[in-house]
């Protein structure tokens, strides 16, 4: 199982391409590290690198980059719009796949310790890795910036977590830590640096002072002028995009800018962004503007347009969305196979994929056919009176189609867990006990997936009945095939539940599960009969 940590080192060099490229090479040439993004800024004189890899690899990649930068960046000659304390100003570790925050804290500890030993420089821990509450916040650690370090390092309260309390003029100090995903998001304003900063003071959580907090929780902000674009920016860090979404920051800045009679001309993501952040914003605009958009690709395009994310340069989703960038790092699974490959894998001399995964695939195809009938009805002139009906009926099929596809791998994984339990040692009473417990857990997982499949299909019967009633008559046979495909998938789920239930020792669980899967099967039979009758009655 792949384990991925994201590392986002911020180096205080954004103008010298040779230095920027050399640091990129130091990261990308580290075994196990995949460099995803390099985002230099001339006005900020700073470059943000984003790379992923297993925990051990990203620590090594960060050390290689720091070692190289030590001889290339001279902080005594540095100037730029962005706050900074050192040549490698900041290096957070972020959990991405199959790793915990504790794993990332260990990465920060190891990196900080090794860096201090290697370069003999002061290193501070922040965020989840901080050893005291006073150092959790990055702005508080950066107070006074690089220029304040000579005096700060003389005071006991500013003793570094690693390395000597020694001011190294060419390097400064390094901050490392662990955090959740942060979105570096800048909004472009046709105004001055001072006007942009005024807006930032209003919207950032810190506000202007303690008795005058800002409007947006978990948002940091400041204003600066971007010389290369000849405009000002309200620069923000969104620390929790689920609490304060991307669109909330943009819309609030727009309101403040309007009060100052300043035009907003797009915005900018620095580095990468989680897909969910864009989809949440898409849902906001879809609801606000009463739009009908269901495809993920179209939702992403909508947000790029609404926020003007391509105003300062191309915004390529495949290069800027973290999930799209790390897909190649994950195991593909059944869902990534071609149809031919999937069929051949089913026909191979292996226990999985088997009937459960095939049932999920059939169910996904049934849901896809339901969505297709709706799509072939919606937006057509002869059916325009049904547009509101199709807007309601299509989304359940589209959502189920994607969820059922993912169940193909979930079923195979669940069965593999049971098979792994069968191979556990059984030489002692304790080993036999552990093996039996693992087998029972594996069996219950193997039961849960097909049962969930049948439950998911159960939701589709009412909209499918209406789709048959109102959908494009030219697609009647497609709706009929959809009904039979979904029924077949429920039969498959029923048989997979029963065969795994027989060895489950928990009688109460067994009885309740058997009762429920029988109900779902009967429901499928009844609904398919009525749906096919309704289809036959249409001319």
Active-site residue numbers? 82, 411
- Whole-number Å distance between alpha carbons of 444 and 501: 8
**Distances in whole angstroms, Cα of residue 400 to Cα of each of 117, 364, 405:** 53, 7, 8
Among candidate residues 72, 70, 10, 2, the one with its CA nearest the CA of residue 39: 10
Whether the Cβ atoms of residue 207 and residue 214 lie closer than 8 Å to each other:
yes
Beta strands of 30-76 (E only): which ranges? 34-41, 46-53
- Whole-number Å distance between alpha carbons of 450 and 459: 15
Whether the Cβ atoms of residue 364 and residue 404 lie closer than 8 Å to each other:
yes
**Residues 6 or more apart in contact with residue 423 via CB below 8 angstroms:** none
**Distances in whole angstroms, Cα of residue 399 to Cα of each of 402, 405, 467:** 6, 10, 16
Among candidate residues 126, 71, 131, 138, the one with its CA nearest the CA of residue 93: 126
Among candidate residues 38, 73, 155, 175, the one with its CA nearest the CA of residue 115: 175
DSSP calls for 236-300: EEES-TTTS-HHHHHHHHHHHHHHTT--EEEEEEES-B-HHHHHHHHHHHHHHTT-----HHHHH
Neighbours of 532 (CB within 10 A): 16
- Whole-number Å distance between alpha carbons of 276 and 281: 8
φ, ψ for residue 337 (rounded to 5)? -75, 150
- Helix spans in 80-223 (H): 101-119, 138-141, 145-152, 193-203
DSSP calls for 135-172: GS-HHHHTTTHHHHHHHHTTSGGG--SBS-S---TTTB
């Amino acid at each position: 199982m792949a384990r991925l940590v994201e590392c986002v080192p911020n180096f205080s060099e954004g103008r010298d391409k040779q230095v920027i490229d050399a640091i990129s090479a130091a990261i990308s040439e580290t075994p196990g590290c995949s460099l995803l993004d390099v985002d230099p800024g001339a006005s900020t004189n700073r470059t943000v690198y984003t790379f992923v890899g297993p925990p051990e690899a990203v620590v090594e990649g960060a050390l290689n980059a720091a070692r190289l930068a030590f001889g290339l960046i001279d902080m005594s000659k540095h100037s730029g719009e962005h706050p900074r304390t050192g040549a490698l100003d900041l290096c957070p570790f972020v959990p991405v796949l199959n790793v915990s925050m504790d794993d990332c804290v260990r990465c920060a500890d190891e990196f900080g310790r090794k860096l201090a030993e290697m370069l003999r420089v002061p290193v501070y821990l922040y965020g989840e890795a901080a050893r005291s509450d006073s150092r959790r916040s990055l702005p508080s650690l950066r107070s006074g910036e690089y220029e304040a370090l000579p005096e700060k390092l003389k005071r006991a309260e500013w003793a570094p977590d690693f390395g000597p309390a020694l001011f190294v003029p060419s390097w400064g100090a390094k901050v490392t830590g662990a955090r959740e995903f942060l979105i570096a998001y800048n909004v472009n304003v046709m105004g001055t640096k001072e006007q942009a900063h005024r807006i930032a003071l209003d919207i950032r959580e810190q506000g202007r002072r303690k008795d005058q907090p800002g409007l947006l929780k978990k948002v940091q902000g400041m204003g600066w002028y971007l010389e290369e674009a000849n405009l000002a920016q309200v620069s923000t860090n969104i620390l929790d995009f689920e609490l304060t979404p991307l669109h909330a920051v943009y819309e609030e800045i727009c309101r403040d800018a309007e009060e100052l009679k300043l035009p907003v001309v797009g915005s900018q993501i620095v580095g990468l962004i989680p897909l969910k952040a864009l989809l949440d914003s898409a849902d906001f605009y879809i609801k606000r503007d009463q739009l009908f958009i269901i495809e993920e690709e179209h939702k992403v395009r909508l947000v790029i347009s609404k926020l003007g994310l391509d105003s300062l340069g191309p915004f390529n989703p495949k290069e800027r969305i973290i999930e799209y960038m790390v897909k190649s790092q994950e195991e593909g699974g059944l869902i990534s196979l071609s149809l031919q490959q999937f069929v051949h894998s089913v026909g191979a001399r292996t226990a999985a994929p088997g009937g459960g995964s095939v049932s999920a695939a059939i169910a996904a195809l049934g849901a896809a056919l339901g969505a297709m009938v709706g799509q072939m009805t919606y937006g057509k002139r002869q059916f325009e009176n049904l547009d509101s009906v199709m807007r309601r009926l299509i989304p359940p099929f589209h959502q189920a189609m994607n969820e059922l596809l993912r169940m193909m791998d979930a079923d195979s994984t669940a069965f593999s867990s049971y098979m792994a339990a069968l191979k556990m040692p059984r030489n002692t009473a304790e080993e036999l006990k552990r093996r039996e417990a693992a087998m029972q857990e594996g069996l219950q997982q193997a039961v849960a997936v097909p049962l969930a499949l049948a439950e998911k299909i159960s939701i589709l019967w009412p909209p499918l009945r209406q789709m048959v009633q109102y959908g494009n008559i030219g697609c009647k046979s497609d709706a009929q095939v959809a009904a039979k495909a979904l029924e077949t998938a429920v039969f498959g789920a029923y048989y997979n539940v029963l065969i795994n239930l027989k060895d489950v020792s928990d009688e109460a669980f067994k009885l309740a599960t058997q009762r429920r899967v029988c109900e779902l099967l009967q429901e499928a039979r009844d609904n398919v009969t009525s749906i096919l009758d309704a289809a036959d009655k249409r001319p």
